[in-house]
Structure 1
Amino acid sequence: MTHVIITGGSSGIGLALARIYAERGARLSLLARSLPALEAARLELARRHGETSVHIESADASDEDQALAAIRKCEAAFGPCDILITSAGIVEPGRFETQTSAAFRQQIETNLFGSVNAVRAVYAAMKERRSGKIMLVSSGAGLIGIYGYAAYCASKFALHGFADALRSEAKPHGVTISVCFPPDTETPQFARELEHRPLEATVIMGRVAPWPSSAVALRIVRAIDKGQFEVFFGWTLWALGRFGATVKPALNWWFDRGIRRMIPRR
């Protein structure tokens, strides 16, 4: 039976992924910082799917020792990890000059190193078995810079680079590396993010409706099934991913134009 480990599995995209794999009958291990949220997720999955095999571990993915210890407990419960999805992440919008160094660093440590730590915990054993799949959850903000998201963009761009390099190392050993770039998604974190999103970011990004977390999760799972390396959502992110050097100058011109129009109003 497939053992799926999901960091950030207590809510949002992570929980939506857990629902899909629970429906498939997989053994699930969910990691997140909040134990009450994890308990709630486990109860929900049990109500939906009966005697679903769900193991939970409270851990901060950005802490290497915590992440390693938590994943070791998951594997002790359900066996080696077959699929790892690193969905744990945080976003704290704010202009670079007003955002604290601690807030900037926390986003880098959670979004980048939180994923790296989880991968490190399972990668060597996957190589030894010559099997395993790893999906890294980046963001549309990992494809183009966005006003007020310097730290978040830095972390998600870095995650793309990590995935790109690791894919090359892992492929000869039978381990599949994937990375996805979700758009704005209906999650509890997104609701909190909107409260702090700078007006300039709202103007240049428009009023595009966020994707349901269930739709994002379904596309991620299908990409894992196919062994797809890069996963995009919508034609804009696909174009950025495939033709970024061509598309970004036009988008940046449009963004800059919108921001300039706002300056006299201040």
Structure 2
Amino acid sequence: MFLYIFLLLIVLVALGLVIHFCLDKKINYKDLKGKHVVITGGSSGIGKAAAVEAAKLGANVTVIGRDVVKLTEAVAEITSHCADKSNQKVEYAALDVTSDYKEIEKCFSSIEEKIGPIFMLVNCAGMCICGQFEKMKIEDIKQMVDLNYFGTAYPTRYVLPGMKERDEGLIVFVSSEAALIGIYGYSAYSAGKWAVRGLAESVIMELVGTKVRLTVAFPPDTDTPGLKNEDLTKPEETKLISGSAGLHSANDVGKQMIHDALVGKTYSVYSVSGTLLTTLFGGSIENAFQVVLQVISMGFLRIIMVGILLSFNNIVRNGLKKKNEVKTK
């Protein structure tokens, strides 16, 4: 028995060393002084919180959104947090990131002409409309895929060539824990967020050998205006399931997201459930510790996950029972 344990330890150590020496070395940035940070969906919620943190770290910030009034207010708030108000620039650009790619290209080119090359892109624009898939409006399904997927893909498509040419840059994708596990009521929303996760993990591999890095964030329910709108359409079953991860502050999520990207993390997670899900289902290699942990704990974590899924199924079953009881009255 002891011999088997010893051999297993040897294998795990060897595996860890191989991964450590084969992975690209992470680049740690202590601040964003003089760097240009662009944040879509930056007029409120997680996006605005991320913009504030970037400003505190010395960045020149451009926030992108559709509502000029909200963008103007956001610029004033972000500016108040600048580390060096006399030298830092904070601007906004009114843009629908689901527009034709040529419109995206035109807007981003103008942004770079004004403030300089984009060093960091944070894709925060997104939305969620909940409901059982067969009851969803077709236009709502399309709107979510357009915003959640193409609203991330198009800006990323624009910045990648320049970042690769300069051999530096950071990109953040804001996905969701619903991109790691299917959840009742999130069917149409999850489709777009799973696509974001798939794009992220593919681009991460395309960046191997460069100094450009991509971080994909998996926030759970976060206290934002978007969540308040989401709750208007959220079935009771979905509230019970998604609420099990707790409610998080937009300021905390936005701040951690920026700092996780600065230290080169592949996955940015904010809860126990996020850690569990990325350990089980994350396809990219974060570091040697992550892989060794997966090898050791995968079976045990899968048992935990099965228990969680069965509890979710029970919530759905009870909801269906209540609906049937109402119909028979």
TM-score class, shorter-chain normalisation, is over 0.9
Cα distance between partner residues in 2 of 1:207 and 1:97: 25
Task: Measure how far apart 1:254 and its partner are.
Answer: 1.3
Deviation sequence 1:211-252 (CA, Å, 0-9, x none): 111110121111111111111111111111112482543322
Q: Does 1:37 align with 2:70?
A: yes
State which of 34, 51, 54 in structure 1 corresponds to 2:90. 54
The residue aligned with 2:291 is: none
Q: CA RMSD in A?
A: 1.5
Aligned-partner residue type, residue 14 of structure 1 = G
- How far, CA to CA, are the matches of 2:246 and 2:215 in structure 1? 26
Greater CA drift, 19-28 or 249-258: 249-258
Q: Aligned AA for 2:144?
A: Q
CA deviation after TM superposition for structure 1 residue 209, in Å:
3.7
Residues 1:4 and 2:37 aligned together: yes
Q: What is the rounded CA distance, in whole Å, between the counterparts of 1:226 and 1:265 in structure 2?
A: 48
Within-5 A mapping of 1:193-204: 193-204=230-241
Instruction: Specify the alignment match of 1:74 in structure 2.
Output: 111
Q: After the TM superposition, which of the residue ranges 115-124 and 172-181 deviates more from structure 2?
A: 172-181
Structure 1 unmatched runs, 5+: none
Provide the rounded CA distance (Å) in 2 between the counterparts of 1:144 and 1:91. Answer: 16
Match of 1:21 in 2: 54
Identity in percent: 30
- TM superposition score normalised by structure 1: 0.95
* Partner-residue secondary structure (3-state), 2:147: helix
Asked whether the 8 Å contact 1:6–1:30 carries over to 2, the reply is yes
Q: Superposed, which structure 2 residues align to 1:1-266 within 5 Å?
A: 1-49=34-82, 50-51=85-86, 52-63=88-99, 64-206=101-243, 209-244=246-281, 246=302, 247-266=304-323
Q: Which amino acid aligns with 1:252?
A: L
Counterpart residue identity of residue 236, structure 1: S
Distance across 2 between alignment mates of 1:100 and 1:22: 39
Count of aligned positions: 266
Distance, in Å, in 2 between the alignment partners of 1:207 and 1:164 is: 27
| SS of the residue 2:185 aligns to | coil
CA–CA distance in structure 1, aligned partners of residues 248 and 138 of structure 2: 31
SS in structure 1 at match of 2:207 = helix
Task: Give the 3 Å change call, closer, same or farther, for CA 224–206 of structure 1 in structure 2.
Answer: closer
For the residues of structure 1 that align with 2:193 and 2:105, how far apart are their CA atoms? 22
Structure exhibiting the larger radius of gyration computed from Cα positions: 2
Q: Secondary structure at the match of 1:57?
A: strand
Q: Secondary structure at the match of 1:82?
A: strand
1:207 CA displacement: 5.7
How far residue 208 of structure 1 moved from its aligned partner, in angstroms, is 5.1
Report if the CA contact (8 A) 1:55-1:77 is conserved: no
Letter in 1 for 2:94: S
1:179 aligned counterpart, secondary structure = strand
Question: Amino acid of the residue matched to residue 11 of structure 1?
Answer: S
Q: Distance in 1 between matches of 2:260 and 2:245?
A: 24
Provide Cα deviations, 1:1-29, integer angstroms capped at 9, x if missing partner: 11001011111000001111111221001
Worse-matched range after superposition: 11-20 or 94-103: 94-103
Tell me the SS of whatever aligns to 1:88: coil
Please state how far the C-alpha of 1:141 moved relative to its aligned partner.
Answer: 1.1
One-letter code of the match for 1:13? I
Quote the Cα distance in structure 2 between the aligned partners of 1:209 and 1:131: 36
For the 8 Å contact 1:144–1:248, the answer to whether it is kept is no
